[in-house]
Amino acid sequence: MASIHMAQRETWTSRIGFIFAAVGSAVGLGNIWSFPFQTATNGGAAFLVVYLLAVALIGFPTMLIEFVIGRRGEQNPVEAFRKIGHGQWSFVGGLGLFSSLLTLAFYSVVGGWVLSYIVGSATGSYFGDPGTYFGAVSAGPTAVAAHAVFMAITIGIVALGVTGGIERATTFMIPAILVLLVGLGAWATTLEGATAGYNYYLSPDFGVIANNFGTIVPPAMGQAFFTLSLGFSVMIAYASYLGEDDSLPADGGAIVVVNTLVALLAGFVVFPILFATGGAEGASGGAGTAFVALAGAFGNLPAGQIIGFVFFVVLLFAALSSSISLLEVPVSYITEHYGYRRSTTAVAAGVFIFLVGVPATFGTTWLGFYNDFVFKFLLPIAVLLLAVFIGWFADTDAMDELGRGSSVGGSFKTIWLWWVRTVVPIAVVVTLYLGIKALYTGLSSGAYFG
């Protein structure tokens, strides 16, 4: 795989190299932690249906938008807009950089929890009282220390460089995640509650969707964008290293499929575990309930200690394969733009982001707020701007770029363009409206900082 260092405009040596890097970014806490627990919080299979529709109908076309901008622009996400001749839109790339910073800040805090749970699985210390253990590691000094360790590992990998650090780390971690998840899923079939878990996960109740449209759509859409790493300019950056003869629709399709498979697999692990020890209710709700519910289950299951250890190691790999990509975006922009050394930049940016994340270690309300702000506000806004830009202001270039290197017909391109012009913006505006309403209600009812 080629270096994706921004200073020289290299291209990926293999198509697989690009897909690997993009999958590493996409597969993360979003797939293995957030996805199953958003599903549990929002009615099980009903959420799954809306989420899959959001991924296919809105996420995939949006990924193509970022690919088109990236490959056409052949520059970092901010410069890319200028290169295409629309410099006034470069703030959209900047917004993506900002979202990356903010996301990594709270992502690393959760990464720290995962580290504590690996230790807790090894020592058995959460088995007696999972709630108390979560309280002790999710806030206060332990959380700050674990957040620091997680960020230090991320900085270390990014400082080592793209080929020596990021590529080496992800080519090891992604296959490991897949193999271990399949193993965990196979083990989960043997559990007492497996069938009830699969039912809850896979048999949608369409009445639930109809009655809870307003509460299901924003998280499903936010989750779709987040899990595909859209709206963060990452895919713009990665696609800028693509050669002319790569097919954007084919590559995008492969990334979406692999990413969705990992999330679905995580559900096949988590739901049987939850239903073996009490059902999904215990796991619905905020960020922390997921950890408490799972840890409680591991404490009560045969071989739970080993299974728990493996599960949290998988979660750690997934978190790291994403956090390095989140840090790489600002680092590559700064090194290219200002000419600082990669290692210095990685340390400086990493320390800054660490500090931004510290409030999220005070308690889960701040963390929930960071998370909701990104999911419900920043991401939909970025995606809306991207769709309007490509659909209405750069449509000719976009159509042309989408066709390069691919055998898709003119009708695919035409449908995509009209979809990006109309369906994507309308869907995102609805989501944004519902999401902002939820944020506002949360803020004014004191749900975050009451």
Q: Are 54 and 224 in contact (CB under 8 A)?
A: yes
Residue given tokens 């990334």 in the structure block: 255
Which of 226, 241 has the CB closer to ligand TRP?
226
Per CB under 6 A, does 239 bind ligand TRP?
no
Of 127-135, 157-165, 226-234, 355-363: span binding ligand TRP (CB under 6 A) = 226-234
Of 158-166, 319-327, 363-371, 442-450: span binding ligand TRP (CB under 6 A) = 319-327
Q: Are 223 and 38 in contact (CB under 8 A)?
A: yes
Binds ligand TRP (CB under 6 A): choice among 42, 154, 322, 371: 322
Q: Are 92 and 81 in contact (CB under 8 A)?
A: yes
Per CB under 6 A, does 25 bind ligand TRP?
yes
Of 24-32, 39-47, 67-75, 433-441: span binding ligand TRP (CB under 6 A) = 24-32
Binds ligand TRP (CB under 6 A): choice among 76, 108, 116, 229: 229
Of 26-34, 117-125, 405-413, 421-429: span binding ligand TRP (CB under 6 A) = 26-34
3-state secondary structure of 100: helix
Share in percent of the chain as helix, strand, coil (round to 5): 80, 0, 20
Per CB under 6 A, does 111 bind ligand TRP?
no
Of 14-22, 76-84, 297-305, 320-328: span binding ligand TRP (CB under 6 A) = 320-328
Q: Are 226 and 375 in contact (CB under 8 A)?
A: yes
Per CB under 6 A, does 271 bind ligand TRP?
no
Binds ligand TRP (CB under 6 A): choice among 41, 121, 170, 227: 227
Give the nearest distance from C-beta 25 to ligand TRP in angstroms.
Answer: 4
Alpha carbons 121 and 385: distance in angstroms, whole number: 44
User: Which of 268, 160, 227 lies closest to 24, judged by CA?
Assistant: 227
Dmax (CA) of the chain: 62
CA angle, residues 89, 95, 100, in degrees to nearest 5: 145
Give the nearest distance from C-beta 323 to ligand TRP in angstroms.
Answer: 7
Per CB under 6 A, does 234 bind ligand TRP?
yes
- Helix (H) / strand (E) element for 178: namely helix 168-188
Give the nearest distance from C-beta 277 to ligand TRP in angstroms.
Answer: 26
Question: How far does CA 240 lie from the centroid of its chain?
Answer: 20
Buried b (16+ CB within 10 A) or exposed e, 6-35: beeeebbeebebbbbbbbbbbbbbbbbbbb
Alpha carbons 65 and 61: distance in angstroms, whole number: 7
Give the nearest distance from C-beta 301 to ligand TRP in angstroms.
Answer: 26
Report the site for ligand TRP in 90-109 (rule: CB under 6 A). Answer: 100, 103
Give the nearest distance from C-beta 124 to ligand TRP in angstroms.
Answer: 28
Binds ligand TRP (CB under 6 A): choice among 1, 6, 21, 26: 26
Report the site for ligand TRP in 325-364 (rule: CB under 6 A). Answer: 325-326
DSSP per-residue letters across 10-64: ---SSHHHHHHHHHHHHSSHIIIIIHHHHHHHTTTHHHHHHHHHIIIIIIHHHHH
Residues that bind ligand TRP (rule: CB under 6 A) add up to a total of 16
User: Which of 287, 213, 301, 227 lies closest to 262, judged by CA?
Assistant: 227
Residues forming the site for ligand TRP (CB under 6 A): 25-26, 28-31, 100, 103, 226-227, 229, 232, 234, 322, 325-326
